[in-house]
Each structure stands twice: as C-alpha cells, then as structure tokens.
Structure 1
Amino acid sequence: MMRIAIVDDDPIVCQSLETILTATGAADVLWTANDGDDAVGRYFAAPGTRPDILLIDIQMPGRDGLDAAREILEHDPAARILFLTTFADRAYITRAMALGAKGYLIKQDVTAVGPALQAVMAGQVVLGSDVLGKLTGGGDTTASTPPSHRHGSSGGQENPDEAGSCSADAAAMESMLNEREREVAALVAEGLDNRDIAKRLHFSEGTVRNRVSGALDKLGLTNRTQLAILWINTHR
C-alpha cells in the first residue's frame, strides 16, 4: 500500500481524506499537516516520514503549498507532489506544474483522489478536467490524465511565476526549435502521446522521442508537461 501525507489548512479536510483513503485501502496516511512549514519539517524529519506521495493544498497560513513544494523538490527531486485545492487559477496551475508537481486536482469529488494517487504512483502526471480547461482556454473536457502527460520525468528546479518563463518566450521558442520539433511540441500540447504523434506525422516512435528530447534540451525544460504548458502559454 502506498504511503501518503496530507497537507491542508482545514483539519477536517485532512481527517476526511485520511478516513476515506484508509477505509478504501487506497493509501496509508503517514501524517497530516496544516501549513507549509510543518509539511517541510515533517517531510524531512526522518527517512521514514517521507511519503510516496505528498497531497498538498495551495493557500495556507504562513508558507503556502507552492513554496513548501519548491523547497521539498529542491532537496528531494524525486518527490511526488500532487496538489489538491479549490483554486483553479491559471497562474497557480502553471507554477505548480513548472515546479515538477505530479498533478493538480480541484476539490470537487473526493472519490477521484484515490485513482489520481494510483496514477501518480504509476508514473503519470494527473490534471483534472477543470485544470485542463484553464490551460487550454477551452471548455470542459473529460480527460483527467491526458496521454501526453503520462511519462513526464520528475520535476526540475525552476522557480518561475508561470511556465512560460521557464526559459523561453514565444519568439525564442520559434527560433530555437526547428519545424519538426515545433510540430511535435504542438501535438504534445494537444494531449497526444508518442504513438499518436508518430501516426499523425508518419514518424517512428523513436523519432518522436528524439524530437521531444531535442525540444526539451533546447528550451531548458525537464519534462513534456512543461513543454506542453509552455507551448500553450506562448500560442494562446
């Protein structure tokens, strides 16, 4: 069973999530915290207190969830952090994902938390439908884990206010990437995985992987989630 920690400024939320996840056998809750400072302290208190996944809110008294996540990832780049919050602000979402978070969910249906945790453990990056709508500027979507976000690496250590400031703006993106890399980046942003991109462009999957890697290297990014967000931000 996966071991998680829950950070939320509302103790009732922590207790409710712990009860539900424990009762359903979805996870074993190691500890809970109600602010960012306590979360960082508990996370690094001892090797045994580091959870498989840290489920954390955004706005909390004192240090917020974004700042706490940043410090944790600076010292433990392999940390899996999943944001669960009521705030669907685009700036929050892009900052969270640029940090290297493994997902961003809006507090609506607590039954979705368990499957999201399982997806993160399986190496996926999970974005709720409301979150995808904010990033794309489109309407509602039913996809909670877009295919293009399923194989991202652990987060980098950028500290931008938004994903577009990771390393390049729109003009730089156009000049730094060749035509094929731009084609692939656009399809990554649409939610296609390597297999679908290969079919669309009549490439091999290996070629697509190389194009994605080339784009990440040129733009100074660490995973395809950042590439997708950067493309969306600079082409909206």
Structure 2
Amino acid sequence: MNILIVDDDILVAGALKTILETDGSVCVCGTGTDGKDAVSLYRKHKPDVLLMDIRMREMSGLEASEQILSEFPNAKILLLTTFSDDEYIVKALKFGVKGYLLKQDYTSIVPAIKAVCTGQTVFGLEIVSRIPDLLQKKSKFNYDDYEISEREYKIITLVADGLSNREIAEKLYLSEGTVRNYLSSILDKLCLRDRTQLAIFYYQHL
C-alpha cells in the first residue's frame, strides 16, 4: 500500500512514517506539511490512502479533503487529529472521508489504514459512539460567517418579533435612520429583499 502523510508537525510526520514502515505491507510515498501539499502530492502520487492532520497552516485537512474529493471522488482519506470536535466530525462525514482517528491512538493507525484501503469507513471508538447523535443534530446557522454583528443580530430578532423601525430604535436607543442603515446592511449581507424575508429567514434558521 502506498501511503501519503501530511502533518504540519515534522516530528509527528516522521513518527508516523516510522510506525507505518515497520509494517512490511506499507510504503510511504511522500510527506507534506499543509493542505496545499496534500492536494499537490495527491495529484502526483495517487496514493492508496492519504493520512492527514486536520488543523494545519495555509489550508486545513478538511479543506484539502474537500478539494481532493471533488477531483478524485474515490480518494481514501484518513484524518488524524488531537481534537474530537463535533464540527470536524460532521464535516468529515459530509465530505466523504474514509476515517477519523485521534492521534494518540497510535496502535489503531495501521489497522485503520488497512481497513480504509479495502473500502471500509473507520472511526475511533470515542468518535463512533457520538456519530448517531451528531447526525441527528440540526446544524445551527452561523451568522458570523456572514459578518453579522451582535447589534445586527439583535435587530434581526426584533424584526422577527414584528417591531417597526421606530420601535426598534426606541428599544436600542438608536435613531430610525440608524436602524434603517443597519437593516439595509443586514439585507445585503444575507442576500434578502425586505424585512418580511428577513423575518422568515430568521425562523427558518432557528
């Protein structure tokens, strides 16, 4: 099996290479230090499995996974991390990665690679126990992604409650003109036409 290792910690990458190459069936065809390396090295080597860290400089492992899988839908990617954040797990599942393991579980890496190579999807025991609940959760809309400030979010909630510009101005100690300016900015950021659409949008994303 040809394995590509990408980790921004050179010592970790070296340790992983040593661990893998002690198994006679594994050959490390290359190593990289960030997501950009992962994309370019994957194109070059077409490894059987890409073993990659999630949190890296320049481009994260999740971003690299998304790009690689868009180009190579059958790519087998096994993500390694010291974190077990719910957001990472959900995104990894959505992108179609074949595995997600915690780095500290070194003994499971070689068996996981072999399983992934045969087409299985592998998640560490700590992660497997949480997957059913994660998949049932409705992801909360993140207004921060649209650069909606705390004040703007408050205005959105007041619009959704049916308050007029004057009532919002009185409640927040602002002028009506300032409220209108805020609303205009909010509608632009969320690509909405008017306050009615804004109210509907708010309740759709609760």
Same topology, TM > 0.5: yes
Aligned with residue 90 of structure 1, among 83, 86, 90: 86
Return the alpha-carbon distance in structure 1 between the equivalents of residues 63 and 120 of structure 2.
23
Aligned partner of 2:110 in structure 1 is 114
CA separation of 1:7/1:28 partners in 2, compared to 1, >3 Å: closer, same or farther? same
Which one-letter code corresponds to 2:110 in the other structure? G
Aligned with residue 123 of structure 1, among 119, 129, 145: 119
Return the alpha-carbon distance in structure 2 between the equivalents of residues 38 and 122 of structure 1.
25
Deviations 1:48-96 (A, max 9, x none): x110000111100010000001100011101000111111011100100
Return the alpha-carbon distance in structure 1 between the equivalents of residues 75 and 34 of structure 2.
18
Deviation at 1:97, TM superposition (A): 1.1
Deviation at 1:136, TM superposition (A): 4.0
Deviation at 1:164, TM superposition (A): 5.5
**Secondary structure at the counterpart of residue 129 of structure 2:** helix
Which one-letter code corresponds to 2:13 in the other structure? C
Aligned partner of 1:219 in structure 2 is none
**Secondary structure at the counterpart of residue 73 of structure 1:** helix
Aligned partner of 1:11 in structure 2 is 10
TM-score (norm 2): 0.63
Aligned partner of 1:101 in structure 2 is 97
TM-score (norm 1): 0.55
Runs of 5+ consecutive residues of structure 1 not aligned to the other structure:
139-161, 166-236
**Secondary structure at the counterpart of residue 94 of structure 1:** helix
Which one-letter code corresponds to 2:53 in the other structure? D
Return the alpha-carbon distance in structure 2 between the equivalents of residues 107 and 75 of structure 1.
27
Aligned partner of 2:70 in structure 1 is 74
Deviations 1:106-162 (A, max 9, x none): 112212100001111121100101112332459xxxxxxxxxxxxxxxxxxxxxxx9
Aligned partner of 2:31 in structure 1 is 32
Contact 1:8 1:60 in 2 (8 A): yes
**Secondary structure at the counterpart of residue 82 of structure 1:** strand
Return the alpha-carbon distance in structure 2 between the equivalents of residues 22 and 83 of structure 1.
19
Runs of 5+ consecutive residues of structure 2 not aligned to the other structure:
140-206
Matched residues, number: 138
Aligned partner of 1:63 in structure 2 is 59
Aligned partner of 2:171 in structure 1 is none
**Secondary structure at the counterpart of residue 118 of structure 1:** helix
Identity of aligned residues (%): 46
- Higher relative CO (Cα under 8 Å, sequence separation at least 6) belongs to 1
CA separation of 1:12/1:114 partners in 2, compared to 1, >3 Å: closer, same or farther? same
Runs of 4+ in 1 over 4 A off after TM superposition: 162-165
Return the alpha-carbon distance in structure 2 between the equivalents of residues 77 and 135 of structure 1.
22
**Secondary structure at the counterpart of residue 44 of structure 1:** helix
Return the alpha-carbon distance in structure 2 between the equivalents of residues 32 and 116 of structure 1.
19
Greater C-alpha radius of gyration: 2
CA separation of 1:76/1:164 partners in 2, compared to 1, >3 Å: closer, same or farther? farther
Aligned partner of 1:134 in structure 2 is 130
Deviation at 1:20, TM superposition (A): 1.2
Return the alpha-carbon distance in structure 1 between the equivalents of residues 116 and 91 of structure 2.
19
